[in-house]
Chains A and B, each alone.
Chain A
Amino acid sequence: MTASLLHPSLLFFVGALLLWLLPLLGRRILILLVPAAAFLVITQLAPGTYFNYHLFGFDLSLLRVDKLSKAFGYVFTINAFACFLFALHLKSRYEHTAALAYIGAALGAVFAADLVSLYLFWEIMAVTSTFLVLARKTERAYGAAFRYVMVHIFGGLCLLAGILLQINASGSVAFTGFSVHGLPTYLILIGFLANAAAPPLNAWLSDAYPEATVTGGVIMTAYTTKTAVYTLIRGFAGWEILLVVGCVMAIYGIIWAILENDMRRILAYSIMNQVGFMICGVGIGTSLAISGAVAHAFCHIIYKALLWMSAGSVLYMTGKSKCTDLGGLYKTMPLTLIFGTIGALAISSFPFLSGYTSKPMIIEAGVHQGFFWVWLILEIASAGVFLHAGIKFPYFVFFAKDNGLRPGEPPKHMLLAMAFLSFLCIFLGVYPQPLYNILPYPVEFHAYTFDHTLHQFQLLMFSALAFFLLLPLLKRTRTISLDTDWFYRKGARLFVAGCDKTFNGLNSFGDRIFMQQIPAIFARFFSDPARNVQRHLIQLGAEASGDNSNLERNKDKVDYRTRFSAYPVGGGVFLAVFFLAVMSIIYFT
C-alpha cells in the first residue's frame, strides 16, 4: 500500500461539506483544488483493491485500482476541474455541493469493487444529480427533475433486484465480468442501460439535462452515462445484445437531434448517439474494442463538456436556448463560436481532433470481427453526427437567421474553461499516445493513415454538402418532439383519466343504484305497504282482465280506506290466517 493512498471520492465528499464553512473566495479555491488533488491521488494509486470492509457477511471493497478504473478516474477529475472552472461565478453553495457529491459518487461507482458498494454510489449519483436540475428553479425544471429521479429510481431498483438475485445465485458480491445469462444478470444489465440512456429508458436524458442550470448541464453530461459505460465494460464486455442496443442508440440520437429545436436538447441527443458507439464497442468486446470504448468515453467527456459549455455560455448570455430564437451570434461571440466549433468537429471525429483518434478504433474492432451491420450503421452514424452536432448546432446557434441578439462573450473563467478543453481536444487529436497509454489493453492503432484520413474527410465534407443542399428541409420550427417519455408523461395522465372514468364511474353507478334508487323504492313501499300492495294488485287485475274502466275509482277507494284505516275486520282476519298458513307450511315442511 502506498503512503499516499486516499480514496478519490473522499476528497469530493469532504469538499462538499467544507463548502458550507468557507467564504466565497475559499469556496472558489476549494472547488478547483478538489478535482486537481483527486487527479493527483489517482495518478499515485497502485493496482490492487483497498478499503476492504465487512458487511452482512460479505467482504466488500471500496477501491479497486486497475487501468480501467484509473482511466475513468482521470477523465472524471480532469472534466470536474474544467466544469468547476466554468462554474466559478456561482455564489450558491447548494449547487456546488450537489455537483461535488455527484462527481464523488461517480468516482466511487467507478472504483467500487463489489456490487453493494457500486449500488450505494449509484443511488447517491441519482439523488445528487437531481439537485442540479432542481437548482434551475423553474416549473419545467421541477417536473423534469421529478421524472428524472423516478426513472433513475426505477433503474436503480432493477439493479438492486438483479444484484440481490446475483448474490443469492453466485454467493459472491464481486463485480467482475458476468458470463451467466439469466434473470439476475439481465436485471443488472437493465439497471446499467437505464443510466446509459438506452431506449426505451432514454428520455430522461433529453428531458432533464436541458432543463438543468447552465453549469449543472455541463457537469451532468459526463458522469451518469459514462459511469454506465464503465459498468457495462466491466460487467458485460462481449455481450452481443449490446451491439443491437448500441447501433439503435447511435441512429436514434441522430434522428431525434435533427428534429430538435432546443440547442441543449440537440446536444443531449448527441450524447445518446455517442454512447451508442461506446456500447457497440462493449458489445464487440475484443481488447481493441474495449480500449476503443474507453478512449471514446475519455474523448467524449471532454468534447461534450466543451459543447455544453459553449451552449451554456449562449444560454447564460442570452437567456435563450431555442434555435428559432438564436442565430447570428458569431458577430458578438466569436470565441464561444470557435470553442464550440472545436467541440463540434471533435464529436464528428474530424481529423486532428480528439474524436478521430478514438471512434475509429471501435469501428475497426467491429470490422476485425466481421460485423458488417455494425460497420454499416456506425459509418452512417458517423456521417450523421457531423450533420446534427457538427454543423447543425453551430450553424443554427451562431449563424443562420440573425435574431438581433447582441450578447458579449461570457465571463473570462468560462472562456478559460472552454479554452482548456479545446486544447485537450486538439492535443488528443494530434498526439493520442498519452491516452492510448492509459487504456486497459495495449493499442496498436494508427488513426493517421493516408487513406483513412482522406476517407473520413470525404465522409464528413459530403455530409456537410447534404446538410447545405437540404437546408430548407432542416428549417427550425417551434416544436418539441415526442420521445419515450410520452408514455409516462401523457400516458400516465391517460392512465389516471382511464382509471378515473372506470373506477369512479363504477363507484358512482353503485352509489346511485344501491344507496339512492333501491332504498328509495323500499322507502316508498314501506311508507304504506298495505296500500301499495292493494294498488298493485288492482293494477295487475285490470291489466289481466283488460278492463281499465274502474281502475282509477278502485285505486281511489284503496287510498280512501287506507287514509282512514277503514278496512273490514274480516279482511284483517283473512290476512292473518293466510300469513299463519303460509308460515306453518314453511315451518313444518
Chain B
Amino acid sequence: MDSENNKPEVCTWFDQPQNIKRLKTVFYIVLVLLVVPDFFMHKHALFFSAETWPGFYAFFGFVSCVVIILVSKLLGFALKKKEDYYDR
C-alpha cells in the first residue's frame, strides 16, 4: 500500500479555543440543569436524611472525586518512583 495515500485525515476541532469555550459553557449548563429537578421532586432516603437534599448526588460525586484525587496525590509522594526503579 502506498503510504502517501494512507495518510490519516487530521481533525483539529478541539484545538480551537472558541470550541473549547463553547464546550465548557455547555458543560456548565448541563451541570445546572441536572440539579434543577431535584428541587421539585420527592426523594427517598436510603440511609440518612441528607440524601433528600437537592443536589445530594452531585455534591457526593464531586466531593468523593476531590477526596480520591487528594488521597492519591498524597500517596503518590510515597509510591511514585522513577521508571527504571526496578531495573536498578
Residues of A within 8 A of B (CB): 254-256, 258-259, 330-334, 367, 372, 375-376, 379-380, 383-384, 386-387, 399, 402, 406-409, 450-451, 454-467, 470, 473-474, 477-483, 489-490
How far apart are B45's CB and chain A's nearest CB, in angstroms?
11
Interface residues of B in 53-88 (CB under 8 A from A): 55-62, 64-73, 75-76, 78-83, 85-86
- Let me know if B7 is at the binding interface, CB within 8 A: yes
Task: Flag if B14 contacts A399 (CB, 8 Å).
Answer: yes
Which chain B positions have C-beta within 8 A of A483? Answer: 79
Task: Flag if A454 contacts B8 (CB, 8 Å).
Answer: no
Task: Flag if B75 contacts A259 (CB, 8 Å).
Answer: yes
Which chain A positions have C-beta within 8 A of B49? Answer: none
Task: Flag if A454 contacts B73 (CB, 8 Å).
Answer: no
How far apart are B37's CB and chain A's nearest CB, in angstroms?
6
Closest to A330 in B: B14
Chain A interface mostly:
helix
Check A332/B55 contact, CB under 8 A, given A458-B61, A466-B62. no
Task: Flag if B61 contacts A463 (CB, 8 Å).
Answer: yes
Task: Flag if A463 contacts B71 (CB, 8 Å).
Answer: no
- Counting chain B CB atoms within 10 Å of each CB, which of A376, A462, A490 scores highest? A462
Contact of B75 among A255, A384, A458 (CB under 8 A): A255
Task: Flag if A383 contacts B61 (CB, 8 Å).
Answer: yes
Task: Flag if B64 contacts A379 (CB, 8 Å).
Answer: yes
Residues of B within 8 A of A (CB): 6-12, 14-15, 27, 30-31, 34-35, 37-38, 41, 43, 46-47, 55-62, 64-73, 75-76, 78-83, 85-86
Task: Flag if A467 contacts B65 (CB, 8 Å).
Answer: yes
How far apart are A485's CB and chain B's nearest CB, in angstroms?
9
How far apart are B52's CB and chain A's nearest CB, in angstroms?
11
Which chain B positions have C-beta within 8 A of A470? Answer: 65-66, 69
How far apart are B35's CB and chain A's nearest CB, in angstroms?
7
Contact of B10 among A332, A386, A464 (CB under 8 A): A332
Which chain A positions have C-beta within 8 A of B78? Answer: 482
Check A461/B31 contact, CB under 8 A, given A255-B71, A332-B10, A379-B60. yes
How far apart are B59's CB and chain A's nearest CB, in angstroms?
7
How far apart are A367's CB and chain B's nearest CB, in angstroms?
5
Closest to B66 in A: A466
Contact of A489 among B34, B66, B83, B86 (CB under 8 A): B86
Which chain A positions have C-beta within 8 A of B35? Answer: 458
Which chain B positions have C-beta within 8 A of A254? Answer: 68, 72
How far apart are B9's CB and chain A's nearest CB, in angstroms?
7
How far apart are B29's CB and chain A's nearest CB, in angstroms?
11
Task: Flag if B30 contacts A461 (CB, 8 Å).
Answer: yes
Check A387/B69 contact, CB under 8 A, given A332-B9, A458-B35, A480-B85. yes
Shortest 10 CB-CB contacts between residues of A and residues of B: A466-B65, A408-B8, A332-B8, A459-B61, A458-B58, A455-B57, A462-B62, A462-B61, A479-B80, A458-B57
Which chain B positions have C-beta within 8 A of A387? Answer: 65, 68-69
How far apart are B39's CB and chain A's nearest CB, in angstroms?
12
Which chain A positions have C-beta within 8 A of B58? Answer: 458-459, 461-462
Task: Flag if A459 contacts B81 (CB, 8 Å).
Answer: no
Which chain B positions have C-beta within 8 A of A455? Answer: 56-57
CA distance A457 to B15 in the complex (A): 27
Which chain A positions have C-beta within 8 A of B34? Answer: 454, 457-458, 461
Task: Flag if A465 contacts B72 (CB, 8 Å).
Answer: no
Which chain A positions have C-beta within 8 A of B6? Answer: 408
Task: Flag if B72 contacts A482 (CB, 8 Å).
Answer: no
CA distance A470 to B65 in the complex (A): 10
CA distance A473 to B37 in the complex (A): 32
CA distance A473 to B65 in the complex (A): 12
Which chain B positions have C-beta within 8 A of A460? Answer: 61
CA distance A305 to B78 in the complex (A): 32
Which chain B positions have C-beta within 8 A of A258? Answer: 68-69, 72
Task: Flag if A482 contacts B68 (CB, 8 Å).
Answer: no
Which chain B positions have C-beta within 8 A of A375? Answer: 46-47
